[in-house]
Amino acid sequence: MNKQDYLELCQEIRRHDIAYYIHAQASIPDYDYDQLYQKLLSLEKKHPEWVTPDSPSQKVGGVVLTEFRQITHRIPMQSLDNTYSEAELRDFAARVDRLLEGREVVWILEPKVDGVAVSLRYEKGRLVSAATRGDGVTGDDITENIRTIRQLPLEIPGTPDVLEVRGEVYMSFPSFQQLNRMREEAGEPLFANARNASAGTLKLLDSKLVAKRPLSLVLYGAGEITGAGLEKQSDFLKALAGWGFPVPEWWATVRGVDALLEALHELDGRRRSFNYPTDGAVIKVDSFEQRGWLGSTSKAPRWAIAYKFAPEQAETTLRAVTFQVGRSGVITPVAELEPVQLSGTTVSRATLHNFEEIKRKDIRVGDRVVVEKAGEIIPAVVKVQTSQRPKQAQVITAPSVCPCPRQSSELAWEGLFYKCTHALCPGQTKRRLQHFAHRGAMDIEGLGEALVEQLVDKGMLSNFADIYRLRTEDVAGLERMGRKSAENLIHAITQSKVQPLWRLIFGLGIPHVGAGLARKLAAAYPDLDALISATVEELIQVEDVGEIVARSIYETFRRPEMLELLEQLRQAGLNFQSRQEIGKDGPLKGLTFVITGTLSKPRPSFESEIRSLGGEVTGSVSSKTSYVLAGDEAGSKLDKARKLGVKVINEAEFENLARPSGGL
């Protein structure tokens, strides 16, 4: 492969990106795409001098910032006047007509994307900077984060010398839901809606983390532009699409206010099928010349208005408030509602978030309440109809003890939340055991939520180790549990003992450690004991582990009850070795490695990688050694290898061995 081939590969990948992200039509199967992408990465590893900022690989940035630089917008980013009323929309149109003294107006109606406003600047066809709106005059420089959006062209031939394009960064519903699922697994707080998730993601200083949360973009506006010769918004949108930018998939140009309202209703009918959250329409004068005549007020242009659709709401009665205790002891109040139809689903429960919220909204049992679903997964109680409050409505008091069956554990007030402080709280115990056994963790078939409830209530389970003490005769005879099911359950429990180490690490429920991170931890250490004895400094070396996560892991493994529990699990025969993940027919099968010198990752990480690919690692060089993997300042082992004629390789060569498909 020469440089020309490399450039062609870049082009090919860009073409597939445009087909996939912009035209929503994959031009090759995912697998083939991944192969091309891997090929690109391995070429770039061999020839770092070929890589330019517009390579498809550079869309996943790697710079960690300590704070955002500020960028002053050449043309301020204004906001829009808002209305929820069709009458006001008619007033707006009449005002524009008046100001234009009877000249005919063509209106353009676009979806109002509910994302985070950004402005991107291209100079001579290259993306040079990206900024948030900030206060409209100055925003955060989020160039690195924006580069992670694969839909976005980084270099476009044939554009005006200066091209500033504006639009919204958003997170699609599936990506948002997946992100929240991962956060739930990791015990991190959930984002209330997709908009908050995108805003939170753009604020991350480490663009590597941003790259893992798929953001998307849609563009609709112009900042500074030189020499494009465009006369109206509809042409501008077409030009944007032609340059490869993602634009709204639907917009309409109409004449007259009646046609405008009709288009608005059409949009309302279509918007739920869009890829992005839409909370309304933006109605604009199409002609740029007419916009110039209309001008702006200090806050907003006179040529546009935002019309917001009312969020979907329903009114119902609050029957009761129940309390739930989570895995970490946080108590959440839940509204039990008279079932009501909302956005096509029946809603009978809604979150009340926390007690401050209940107080602030003055919510009482028996009240008529308004529930709303505005892109959130769980509906929320947004309002109380206090005027309709029945006399017997009851003030909601916080529980004084944990809502779990024990009902005796004291609660501690921690900021917004009550937390159960009891180490043996059965409510928390149930959530922890359910997490341990569930499909994503130890995957014990048959040990579902209902059975865990029963076993804990009967006093047969109080920690992970108890699971491995269950016998067939203990469980046979429980509710919906015959002899055969009991045998199957015990079999599944026994089988789970040899699960890969990452499943156990994940199952332990260490705060901030989700399944993905558990895999990385298992890969970085030869066994659980090595992970347990790792210091905070060592843990930070593992990919994706930061200070907070490292401390959380370190502290979890310093708690005496955790160590006691792990000892019991060891006695029960659970697998503590990463090696169990060995790919017996891996590419390193039959090869013996000696590792020496300073490498880019901790040595155990290489050791477990070699083992997981079927190779072996030994401590000293002999004629049987296949390769010596040598880093900087390798000493006597390197000399011995040379003497014996053992092949010495560096990290890049090792990667090629380990991933032969990438070696071209």
Which residue ranges make up the site for ligand IVH (CB under 6 A)?
A: 78-80, 82, 110, 112-113, 117, 168, 220-221, 282, 301, 304, 306
- Closest approach, Cβ 88 to ligand IVH, in A, equals 14
Closer to ligand IVH at the Cβ: 40 or 222? Answer: 222
**What contacts 85, CB < 8 A, 6 or more positions away?**
none
Closer to ligand IVH at the Cβ: 191 or 276? Answer: 276
Amino acid at 586: G
Which is the catalytic residue, given 59, 112, 232, 430? 112
Pairing of the two strands 627-630 and 592-596: parallel
Closer to ligand IVH at the Cβ: 80 or 377? Answer: 80
- Closest approach, Cβ 6 to ligand IVH, in A, equals 38
Can you spell out the DSSP letters for 513-582? --HHHHHHHHHHSSBHHHHHT--HHHHHTSTT--HHHHHHHHHHTT-HHHHHHHHHHHHTT---BGGGG-
Q: Tell me the β-bridge partners of 120.
A: 130, 165
Is residue 615 within 8 Å of 593, Cβ to Cβ? yes
> CA-to-CA distance for 169 and 151, rounded, in angstroms?
11
Closer to ligand IVH at the Cβ: 65 or 241? Answer: 241
Q: How buried is residue 458: exposed, middle or buried, by Cβ count under 10 Å (0-12/13-18/19+)?
A: exposed
- Closest approach, Cβ 391 to ligand IVH, in A, equals 43
Closer to ligand IVH at the Cβ: 139 or 333? Answer: 139
- Closest approach, Cβ 239 to ligand IVH, in A, equals 16
Query: Smallest Cα–Cα separation from 178: which of 655, 515, 503?
Result: 515
- Closest approach, Cβ 165 to ligand IVH, in A, equals 12
**What contacts 91, CB < 8 A, 6 or more positions away?**
none
How open is the CA angle 174-166-256, to the nearest 5 degrees?
A: 95
Closer to ligand IVH at the Cβ: 118 or 330? Answer: 118
Amino acid at 63: V
Closer to ligand IVH at the Cβ: 116 or 508? Answer: 116
- Closest approach, Cβ 235 to ligand IVH, in A, equals 16
How open is the CA angle 166-172-178, to the nearest 5 degrees?
A: 140
> CA-to-CA distance for 177 and 277, rounded, in angstroms?
13
List the structure tokens of 314.
């329903």
- Closest approach, Cβ 301 to ligand IVH, in A, equals 5
The sign one gets for the Cα dihedral 153, 154, 156, 162 is: positive
> CA-to-CA distance for 363 and 381, rounded, in angstroms?
9
Is residue 614 within 8 Å of 586, Cβ to Cβ? yes
- Closest approach, Cβ 253 to ligand IVH, in A, equals 14
Closer to ligand IVH at the Cβ: 78 or 463? Answer: 78
Q: Which residue is nearest to ligand IVH (CB)?
A: 117
Pairing of the two strands 82-83 and 312-325: unpaired
How long, in residues, is the chain? 664
Cα dihedral: 401, 553, 583, 599 (round 10) = 170
Distance of CA 218 to the CA centre of its chain: 19
- Closest approach, Cβ 117 to ligand IVH, in A, equals 3
Is residue 161 within 8 Å of 123, Cβ to Cβ? yes
Pairing of the two strands 278-285 and 106-113: antiparallel
Note if 112 is an active site residue. Answer: yes
The sign one gets for the Cα dihedral 32, 33, 36, 41 is: negative
Q: Could you list the beta-strand ranges (E) of 226-329.
A: 252-255, 278-285, 304-308, 312-325
- Closest approach, Cβ 379 to ligand IVH, in A, equals 24
Closer to ligand IVH at the Cβ: 82 or 341? Answer: 82
Closer to ligand IVH at the Cβ: 240 or 447? Answer: 240
Is residue 114 within 8 Å of 276, Cβ to Cβ? yes
3-state DSSP assignment of residue 416: coil
Closer to ligand IVH at the Cβ: 234 or 596? Answer: 234
Can you spell out the DSSP letters for 1-17? --HHHHHHHHHHHHHHH
Cα dihedral: 488, 490, 495, 499 (round 10) = 120
- Closest approach, Cβ 118 to ligand IVH, in A, equals 9
Amino acid at 588: L
Q: What is the phi/psi pair of residue 387, to 5°?
A: -65, -25
List the structure tokens of 118.
């950004």
Catalytically active residues, by annotation: 112
